[in-house]
Structure 1
Amino acid sequence: MGANGREWHSFAVEEVARLLQTDVDRGLKEVEVPELQKKFGPNELKGQKGVNPWKVLLGQFTNGLTVILLLAAVVSYAVQDYAEGGVLAFVIIFNAAVGFVQEYRAEKTMDALRRMASPTAKVIRDGGLDRISSPGVVPGDLIVLEVGDVVPADCRLIEVLNLEVDEAMLTGESLPVAKSVEPIKEDQASLGDRLNMVYSSTTLTKGRARGIAVATGMKTEIGKITKSISETASNSTPMQRRLNQMAYVLFGISLLLAVIVFAVNKFKFETTIILYAVSLSIAVIPEGLIAVITIVMALGVRRMATQQALVRKLVALESLQAVTNICSDKTGTLTEGKMTVTSIWLSGKDQLSVSGDGWNTTGHIYLRDQVLDNSDLLSDIRFRLLVECSALCNTANIVEASGGKVWGDPTEIALQVFAYKFQMGKPTFKKTKEQLTEFPFSSDVKRMSMLCRDVGRDEFEIYTKGAENVLRVCDRVIKNGSEVEIVSKEDFMQTVEAQIQIMAKQGLRVLVVAYGKETESGMGKPVMKWAREDVERSLVFLGLLGIRDTPRPESKRAVDQCYRAGIIVHMLTGDHQDTALAIAKEVGIIRPPPNRAEESVVPLFNPVMTAQEFDALSEEEIDDLAELPLVIARCTPATKVRMIEALHRRKKFAAMTGDGVNDAPSLKKADVGIAMGAGSDVAKQSSEIVLTDNNFATIVMAVSEGRRIFSNIRKFVLHLISTNVGEVIVLIIGLAFKDRSGLSVFPLAPVQILYLNMLTSTPPAMALGVEAASKEVMNLPPHTKGLFGKELLADMMAYGIIMGGLILTDWVLVIYAFGDGNLGLECNSAENLAECNTVFRARSTILIVFTWMLLLHAYNCRHVRFSLFTKDGGGASKIFSNRLLVVSVFVGAMLPIPPVYIPTLNTEIFKQETISWEWGIVIVSVVAFFICSEVYKFCKRKIMTSHPI
């Protein structure tokens, strides 16, 4: 913003210089710069100063489970239960460390990407040109810009030469914008119409310029967008919300259970009773859950990083599995992003095909399946001039096409490569054609022309290419090698436009090519004074060039995977409607109905709309559509936001791709924002995932990985929570067993509870977290209802009741059926070993039974319905497929045995005793648990018909 509320583009150059106290020739004085830097601060976006490790670390303690574990640890230390408090502290620190390392690494990677953007700037100070670090630029600095430069600040242009700037990241305009220096009187002109301004982080694609920096840092247009995004609160994922809800519910239950313990024991606040109340409360909370989730997600992030997907937030993996709709751009994501000339049409001839993709400078011309001879083609004056125009009306440069050393506008690179296929690239004309004046592409005339002088003859040649507007300045065609007047301009226009339509429907971007020649005397003016209207008139129509952005070979397979997985793919592109429709059909976004093999598609809704059509609809009209459009052509950033909002109103879970600054709002609003590695810094900051290869197939891979991780999280959550349910049943009902003094005799000692929760439960849960993906993982619909579905809750209760019931049965059998029924006195401590022998033996028995049950239960959890005897359920062929699970079960089964037989450790710490005949009860109980589990699964298979997800 300039003075008096006016924008900088509305001021004359002299007025801008006066307001910013700078000189248009010498720039700022060096002595003034420190004061200006102090006033305006560094030229950086918020967050570019680097990663704040404290902020990342603090973020690890913001979920409900961690908060409750912290409270439990504090209570444990308060009652001097240092063993329990130490274990809880270890769990909390371990989880925070793993999460911190992962997210800090991701943010450091993002920081490195940020530093790549506009690292230096060329400024004139005190009349001298100097290259400085971009953060050192201040308002009033005189900036020098050349082709390839990234603009370091918002600048009012004061001098331009053939300047074009790629502003797609900011305005959405797909083509570079030609710039000028004249003031624009309309004060509220849109960014795209402010032709005398260049903006921070945009890139020069052609020409050079000088400008005065008028805004830096967060005051720039990109800074304003960054600020608005940072003020937008991020939504938590369904799993985060469910885990937090679960934490609060468990916290309430743990408080209730603690009250029950004290009530049953007549509110005697003895140390052993307090310890038991704390232990029972902690038994409700799955201490290992957040640690296992964090580790499993971190492993998933590492796996995805090797496949070109950088995950900035661990929770994004859970979000990915719930995606129901993916809104993807086209260029470089579904397509290769390398424009290629694939078709030619010369007036009066059939459409020709060109082979050779991308930047391959070898290829052939085909008429249907027949290869045409290059020399015969070049003998046709129309074809030869069309190739010349491709080479000369062009600003792209090719140093080494096969090695990818090219630069320039992608369309012009495609034309230059096309010329190279006939050994007629720009360098071959260096001695014969002198390029004099370029008339750049503009959004008004939609064409570009190059005026050249034929060195061997006294004449000038005009090469023109562009959109259909070129046809308006053509009044001749070539027939039989000679130029002839167009008899009927209307018929001519209809014929060519019909061919343009045909090529557009083939997914091609179509360029019209024309040619003219003139003597200097015929032009009536000296060469340097020729105006555009003098050159672009009375031209000869040569033909049409069809340029194709070839779909990636893997895109169709990836889209097919999405449809099998119940994910709808939408393509939001800036392309023409017909071109977008053709590409959408080719990659499978729009497909025939399943029962029809014919090519035509007659859907029940309009699958393709333009942004203008979509934006014209009200929210109510959009919601009344049978389906949202699969393709939106000529898409704008605002259209992307409306699309996400429309999906959310339909209760869909949406992923959005983008790379420009203007994509940041839609990336932030989407449930999963996916930025491109070559995109803008703001887009990356607004996203959860960054694709380093810009490939749509990588998105599908990420969704598959997210589903695998979510499926595994459900497995170990079932394992951990059902075990806790069993523990709580045993510990609560166990309160009914009282000794002679009327105090409850605890079935499990506090150390035994922690042992079960940490040493026994966590390793197999971790092993379940690294299970390989099921072959059905991408053949099922998305799971959008969060972690705790009805089936999972039913399984938790069922398995917990089975375990708890069997454990209590064993407790009764050891004490009453086979023992003396003596519950002793003060058997919650180790002060009366002789009288507590039966109780201690019963504790040893149920500790081993509990340990072996929950280890076997890990195999139950590999699949919620299939029997262990079947291949799908983990039968003989899959029992040993998860080596970590095999090791954790085997080692876990051995761990409880030493504490039973090692003197002092057994009685003083674990409050248990050696056993002998009780091993029979252990074996029978484990077999009984296996049978009960198989019966439960059998009943589920008979009752439930839908596939578990």
Structure 2
Amino acid sequence: MAELPDDFHARSIPDVSKLLETDAEVGLGSAKAAELLVKYGRNELQGQRGINPWRILLQQVTNGLTLILTIATVVSIVVEDYAEAGVLIIVILFNTIVGFVQDFRAERTMDALRKMASPSAKVLRDGVQTRISSGDVVPGDVIIFEVGDIIPADCRLCDVLNMEIDEAMLTGESMPAMKSVESLQAKDTTIGDRFNMAYSSTTVSKGRGKGIAVATGMATEIGKISTAIDETPSSTTPLQRRLNKMAYVLFVISIFLAVIVFAVNKFNFNTEIIIYAIALSIAVIPEGLIAVITVVMALGVKRMARQNAIVRKLVVLESMQPVTNICSDKTGTLTQGKMALTNVWIPSKEETYRISGQGYETTGSISYGDEVLDAKRILADENFHRLVECSALCNTANIIESSKGKVWGDPTEIALQVFAYKLQMGKPAFLGLKEAVLEFPFSSASKRMSMVCSNLGTSDDFDIYTKGAENVLEICDKVMDGEMVKQIGDRSEFLEKVHAQIELMATQGLRVLVTAHRRTSEQSMGKPMEKWERGDVEKSLTFLGLVGIRDTPRVESKISVQQCHDAGIKVHMLTGDHKSTALAIATEIGIIGNQLPPSDVNTDGVETIVPMYREVMTAGEFDALSNDEVDALEELPLVIARCTPATKVRMIEALHRRKKYAAMTGDGVNDAPSLKKADVGIAMGAGSDVAKQSSEIVLTDNNFATIVLAMKEGRRIFSNIKKFVVHLMSTNVGQVIVLIVGLAFQDSEGVSVFPLSPVQILFMNMVTGTPPAMSLGIEPASSSIMHVPPQLGGLFTKELMMDMFAYGSFMGGLVLIDWTLVIYAFGHGRLAFDCNDDSNLNACDTVFRARSTLLMSFTWMFLLHAYNCRHLRASLFTKEGGGGSFKRLVDNKLMVWSVVVGALLPIPFVYIPTVNTNIFKQASITWEWGIIVASVLVFFVLSETYKLLKRKLMKTPYVL
């Protein structure tokens, strides 16, 4: 597709028309438009990749552990060990089905970018206004806009009348942008400051206008965002990488151990030795690990859904744990996304009135100083009463059901109307009393709005209400002081006082409006009301006061930001708003002020040559730095104002270069590239579909506080994964120790007699081992889990590896002692021939009884080891370790039932004839129960001693 320049905002309208070979008054000819459609292509965004069930299924079966289990299944079938193969197949199917269903549901979304396209457009073709499909718009088309229209293409505006465009989804601006046609001087002006441009997929919120299409399809700003999304590579999560790495390491270990088995048996590849090698491989591979992780993740997804967070992929919850930095949009994320009037200042008062209430709620309190005032008392002040009248009547907004958010109009006017409603003086209160008869709308030229209202049935006078920017002061020659209207004396003193108050309110992140009033009549005007012009109305006004409006931060945002700081997570605000507004909001919610900036002088007292660290920067300032200069900053800025999509992506890349793990929150189209680039993308439910499709988590309540819950849930899941990995892997270590040492136990023919049969291993790992591991996966979060920094060391830390081998050695050593006691201390002291199957039951009775002893000892240690793993350092007999009271020991119902049922379940298989000998290769036991109980007690003594040593010797705190 042909390319056009991207600096149309810096070109004059004649230059744009000449470059695109069009006429702003006539538009394109039909023939020319057809040629351009072929040249530039249809005005469409490239479709997003649809749902591919086979791709989702492939992702489920190609992870490392599943591949290893599949290989083990194939080998088991080849050697006709069907019992083992059947269990492995069930494990693989279970994991695949659960993961597939979850991911398929998450991916079932419409093409978000296509949904945002405008269905039609009004254009000038051959001098005639006509409506065409938005897909047929070409560069050079002259497009006509009205209120409510969705802009179909990027346009250079050539004619506007009171035109405002809502660009929040693209720029992050909370206020609609006022548009003009003048050329801009700077070519590198950010999108939010290009007041002579209209961008595809934004919405006209006020006025009307006309523009020349300068970019269509993928060449538009939203198209560039789409391209950035597609070019951003997807990456696996840390847990996926660690588990895959672990699977391949275990695979190598299992092969190595199999070689040892064959070497010890002089590479005699008979069936018994192959089965022994398979048994050793089964002991190495944690068959239940994938199933447990899948179920725990699925339960975490359901838990998060109840907390208003929709997780699009199972493994993402684990990715919340290592997050070190959150890059958050402001509008609608940290703030309510709704303008609210919060401050009122009138000339007779030193301080401002403060108005409470959230969003569009029409209830709230008015306070002055420390005193809360009732409506009747405050409206007794004629000055305040008149200001409220101005807010309600110099207003085109309507409120239907504010509690349900059903409002209509400009966000600023909605805020003023809501304020009036709080004092029971909204528009409905004036029905039959006052009627708007003449309106002079807000325009970019006047920067003010005036409304003329008649007084029904009371007098022939008219009330003029005016609101707007500071230039309203220019048409005021009087000031209201209480109930008195006074002539402005020293005008410079008056203006100095008002401007000081405006500046003070602006530093608080408020958009300040000036209100004014005048009562007049047709007689004093000298002509009928129908002939009044703006110049007749907007003069000799009485200054009423100032109102401050802002996008109010969510109440929960400050608490949530503080919780992030407590957890060692830095919060960055990346917003399209102006610097002063961003600074005020960031300070209010605690992003700025909780930490001191580093010094810009080095230890030698010499001023550094790298850019100084600043908490607040504009996108222009940040983007002007090279990557080396950004990396040289001691800290990255906490706030970036006037932020562009490219700046957000660059911020994520800068964090990645610092080895940080970044999350990005947002709701607009402009957030999509950074959402996908970030390690964790968190979209707001009320935001654009593009943002949702680019993220891993969607917050249905649009609440930043829910992110803290997601972080906590991620940390809880990561902590519990560590617990059940220790639980499962320590048993595998114990089994490997038993089987490796068991190679030394050979029969009269020199063939190794395995202390544990393959079916016994599978039974322990899957039937009795998986439920308690799963119960560890649903353990509640520690009370201190959000008071420690993120753990970036990965899952397999030194401590975790040490725990695995310590507990595994305890189990393996005790089981080998049991084997030795049953066969050599109390048995006949020899291993009969061919005891690896059931062909020689009489001679192998002692071996079979020893296997039953080992099964029960291992199983009971394994089950009760789950209580050990509730806390990897604290004693079982303390509250922190899971004990301390009977209630604490039984509060995890799944653990109680899995331990009790798991302890009883293998007993029948010890005594049921044929099943015990033919399948499990074991036999009934009697006095051996004493050895089993003694082994379990010794295991707990060793475990508590080990934990005591860890608490004494390890200095680093352990709370996860």
TM-score in same-fold range (> 0.5):
yes
- Tell me whether 1:718 sits opposite 2:718 in the alignment: no
- Tell me whether 1:864 sits opposite 2:865 in the alignment: no
Shift of 1:758: 1.3
> Relative to structure 2, which stretch is displaced further, 335-344 or 570-579?
570-579
> Relative to structure 2, which stretch is displaced further, 659-668 or 563-572?
563-572
Question: Equivalent of 2:441, from 438, 442, 445?
Answer: 438
Distance in 2 between residues matched to 1:185 and 1:782, nearest whole Å: 46
Distance in 2 between residues matched to 1:663 and 1:690, nearest whole Å: 13
Map 1:775-924 to 2 at 5 A. 775-875=783-883, 876-924=886-934
- Counterpart residue number, 2:245: 245
- Tell me whether 1:754 sits opposite 2:756 in the alignment: no
Shift of 1:638: 4.5
> Relative to structure 2, which stretch is displaced further, 448-457 or 871-880?
448-457
Map 1:406-425 to 2 at 5 A. 406-421=407-422, 425=426
Question: Equivalent of 1:564, from 549, 563, 566?
Answer: 566
Structure 1 residues 76, 230: CA separation in 2 closer, same or farther (over 3 Å shift)? farther
Distance in 2 between residues matched to 1:401 and 1:620, nearest whole Å: 50
Shift of 1:589: 3.8
- Counterpart residue number, 2:344: 344
Distance in 2 between residues matched to 1:801 and 1:769, nearest whole Å: 24
One-letter amino acid matched to 1:756 = M
> Relative to structure 2, which stretch is displaced further, 200-209 or 628-637?
628-637
One-letter amino acid matched to 2:345 = W
Structure 1 residue ranges without an equivalent (≥5) = 595-603
Q: Residues 871 and 877 of structure 1 are in contact (CA less than 8 Å); yes or no, is this contact kept in structure 2?
A: no
Shift of 1:293: 0.9
Shift of 1:130: 8.2
Distance in 1 between residues matched to 2:642 and 2:220, nearest whole Å: 26
Structure 1 residues 28, 759: CA separation in 2 closer, same or farther (over 3 Å shift)? farther
Q: Residues 118 and 201 of structure 2 are in contact (CA less than 8 Å); yes or no, is this contact kept in structure 1?
A: no
- Counterpart residue number, 2:498: 496
Q: Residues 334 and 555 of structure 1 are in contact (CA less than 8 Å); yes or no, is this contact kept in structure 2?
A: yes
Structure 1 residues 171, 521: CA separation in 2 closer, same or farther (over 3 Å shift)? farther
Shift of 1:324: 2.5
- SS of 2:888's equivalent in the other structure is coil
- Counterpart residue number, 2:514: 512
Question: Deviations for 1:403-449, whole angstroms, at most 9, x for unmatched residues?
Answer: 43212333221112223445554564896433444233x4xx69343
> Relative to structure 2, which stretch is displaced further, 513-522 or 707-716?
513-522
Question: Deviations for 1:531-580, whole angstroms, at most 9, x for unmatched residues?
Answer: 99999888765432122444433333333333332333334445555555
- Tell me whether 1:53 sits opposite 2:63 in the alignment: no
Distance in 2 between residues matched to 1:553 and 1:244, nearest whole Å: 42
- Counterpart residue number, 1:404: 405
Distance in 1 between residues matched to 2:176 and 2:550, nearest whole Å: 19
- Tell me whether 1:317 sits opposite 2:327 in the alignment: no
Q: Residues 435 and 454 of structure 2 are in contact (CA less than 8 Å); yes or no, is this contact kept in structure 1?
A: yes
- SS of 1:99's equivalent in the other structure is helix
Map 1:141-290 to 2 at 5 A. 146-151=146-151, 154=154, 162-179=162-179, 191-192=191-192, 198-208=198-208, 218-290=218-290
Structure 1 residues 425, 274: CA separation in 2 closer, same or farther (over 3 Å shift)? same
- Tell me whether 1:692 sits opposite 2:700 in the alignment: yes
Structure 1 residues 25, 178: CA separation in 2 closer, same or farther (over 3 Å shift)? farther
RMSD: 4.4
> Relative to structure 2, which stretch is displaced further, 526-535 or 303-312?
526-535
One-letter amino acid matched to 1:355 = I
Question: Deviations for 1:713-741, whole angstroms, at most 9, x for unmatched residues?
Answer: 11100011111111111111111111122
Distance in 2 between residues matched to 1:257 and 1:375, nearest whole Å: 87
Shift of 1:92: 1.8
Distance in 2 between residues matched to 1:269 and 1:42, nearest whole Å: 68
Shift of 1:935: 1.3
Structure 1 residues 183, 778: CA separation in 2 closer, same or farther (over 3 Å shift)? closer
Distance in 2 between residues matched to 1:326 and 1:810, nearest whole Å: 54
Structure 1 residues 175, 904: CA separation in 2 closer, same or farther (over 3 Å shift)? same
Distance in 2 between residues matched to 1:855 and 1:57, nearest whole Å: 33
Shift of 1:803: 0.8
Distance in 2 between residues matched to 1:817 and 1:655, nearest whole Å: 61
- Counterpart residue number, 1:740: 748
> Relative to structure 2, which stretch is displaced further, 772-781 or 137-146?
137-146
> Relative to structure 2, which stretch is displaced further, 423-432 or 917-926?
423-432
- SS of 1:439's equivalent in the other structure is coil
Shift of 1:529: 12
Distance in 1 between residues matched to 2:919 and 2:172, nearest whole Å: 68
- Counterpart residue number, 2:602: none
Structure 1 residues 461, 363: CA separation in 2 closer, same or farther (over 3 Å shift)? same
Structure 1 residues 520, 610: CA separation in 2 closer, same or farther (over 3 Å shift)? farther
Distance in 2 between residues matched to 1:527 and 1:44, nearest whole Å: 52
- SS of 1:321's equivalent in the other structure is coil
Q: Residues 60 and 100 of structure 1 are in contact (CA less than 8 Å); yes or no, is this contact kept in structure 2?
A: yes
Distance in 1 between residues matched to 2:174 and 2:272, nearest whole Å: 73
Q: Residues 47 and 111 of structure 2 are in contact (CA less than 8 Å); yes or no, is this contact kept in structure 1?
A: no
Q: Residues 352 and 365 of structure 1 are in contact (CA less than 8 Å); yes or no, is this contact kept in structure 2?
A: no
Q: Residues 464 and 519 of structure 2 are in contact (CA less than 8 Å); yes or no, is this contact kept in structure 1?
A: yes
One-letter amino acid matched to 1:727 = Q
Structure 1 residues 757, 369: CA separation in 2 closer, same or farther (over 3 Å shift)? closer
Q: Residues 838 and 921 of structure 2 are in contact (CA less than 8 Å); yes or no, is this contact kept in structure 1?
A: yes
Map 1:564-603 to 2 at 5 A. 564-575=566-577, 580-590=582-592
One-letter amino acid matched to 1:933 = S
Q: Residues 719 and 858 of structure 1 are in contact (CA less than 8 Å); yes or no, is this contact kept in structure 2?
A: yes
TM-score, scaled to structure 1: 0.86
Distance in 2 between residues matched to 1:3 and 1:706, nearest whole Å: 45
One-letter amino acid matched to 1:871 = K
- Counterpart residue number, 1:644: 652
Distance in 2 between residues matched to 1:816 and 1:51, nearest whole Å: 63
Distance in 2 between residues matched to 1:478 and 1:556, nearest whole Å: 39
Shift of 1:292: 1.0
Question: Deviations for 1:435-481, whole angstroms, at most 9, x for unmatched residues?
Answer: 444233x4xx6934346586987999572413x5655x456342665
Q: Residues 46 and 226 of structure 1 are in contact (CA less than 8 Å); yes or no, is this contact kept in structure 2?
A: no
- Tell me whether 1:701 sits opposite 2:692 in the alignment: no
Identical positions, percent: 61
One-letter amino acid matched to 1:164 = E
- Counterpart residue number, 2:605: none
Question: Equivalent of 2:737, from 701, 718, 729?
Answer: 729
Structure 1 residues 730, 152: CA separation in 2 closer, same or farther (over 3 Å shift)? farther
- Counterpart residue number, 1:946: 956
Question: Deviations for 1:901-928, whole angstroms, at most 9, x for unmatched residues?
Answer: 2222222222222222222221211111
Q: Residues 840 and 913 of structure 1 are in contact (CA less than 8 Å); yes or no, is this contact kept in structure 2?
A: yes
> Relative to structure 2, which stretch is displaced further, 111-120 or 816-825?
111-120
Map 1:432-511 to 2 at 5 A. 432-440=435-443, 442=444, 447-450=447-450, 452=452, 463-466=466-469, 468=470, 473-474=474-475, 476-478=477-479, 481-482=484-485, 484=487, 487=490, 489=492, 491-511=493-513
Question: Deviations for 1:134-179, whole angstroms, at most 9, x for unmatched residues?
Answer: 8x77659997765345445556778765432111222344432234
One-letter amino acid matched to 1:398 = I
- SS of 2:343's equivalent in the other structure is strand
Structure 1 residues 447, 638: CA separation in 2 closer, same or farther (over 3 Å shift)? farther
- SS of 2:86's equivalent in the other structure is helix
Structure 1 residues 516, 765: CA separation in 2 closer, same or farther (over 3 Å shift)? same
Question: Deviations for 1:837-877, whole angstroms, at most 9, x for unmatched residues?
Answer: 22222222211111111011111111111222222222233
Shift of 1:254: 1.1
- SS of 1:290's equivalent in the other structure is helix
How many residues are paired up?
928
Structure 1 residues 362, 740: CA separation in 2 closer, same or farther (over 3 Å shift)? closer
